Amino acid sequence: MARVVVNVMPKAEILDPQGQAVVRALGRIGVEGVADVRQGKRFEIEVSDEVTREQVEKMAEVLLANTVIEDFDVIFEA
Amino acid sequence: MARVVVNVMPKAEILDPQGQAVVRALGRIGVEGVADVRQGKRFEIEVSDEVTREQVEKMAEVLLANTVIEDFDVIFEA
């Protein structure tokens, strides 16, 4: 078995209202110095050793990310 | 400025219906060999150099994660 991580983040040019809500809330808990927050998704996936990077990329494109507004990274862990 | 990543994942003993929905959908797109999917959140945060790990951990505990059902990791990137 191998462990794969897929990170899905909003594209840089896309507004991220969830991240902006976090920035606004920071004042309430007294944390200063945070310039920006972007919120995305992290998938931790257990796959058999035969599963290829191409298959995981297909899965990310079709199921995990909306590639119109999101970018993704596929990371095979040791 | 420094870049911090906070990963928030459901605790191992917590059911993850979003991840399970992804597993069930894989059959429809012809991907085999995926044993498990867990879905969490990834935050990419830009902070000034004075912001400490303790401050980011407080932010994660209060704003980013529900620590009853989720674990988080704080990673300061170079």
Distance CA A51, CA A56 (A): 7
Minimal Cβ distance to A50: which of B33, B37, B39: B33
User: At B46, which CATH number?
Assistant: 3.30.1280.10
Number of domains in chain A: 1
Distance CA A62, CA B31 (A): 11
Distance CA B70, CA B40 (A): 9
Residue-wise pLDDT for A15-66, tens only, equals 999 999 999 998 888 889 999 999 999 999 999 999 999 999 999 999 999 9
Average pLDDT over chain B reads 94
What token pair was written down for A27?
A: 């004042």
| ipTM attached to this prediction | 0.93
Hey, is the C-beta of A74 within 8 angstroms of any chain B C-beta?
no
Instruction: Give the range of the structural domain holding residue A60, as residue numbers without chain letter.
Output: 2-77
Partners of B74 in the β-ladder: B6
Residues of A in contact with B33 (CB under 8 A): 47-48, 50-51, 55
Question: Which A-chain residues 18-37 have CB contacts (< 8 A) with chain B?
Answer: 19, 22, 25-26, 29, 31-37
What percentage of chain B reaches a pLDDT higher than 70? 100
Minimal Cβ distance to A47: which of B35, B39, B58: B35
Q: What's the Cα-to-Cα distance from A4 to each of A38, A41, A44, rounded to whole Å?
A: 22, 14, 6
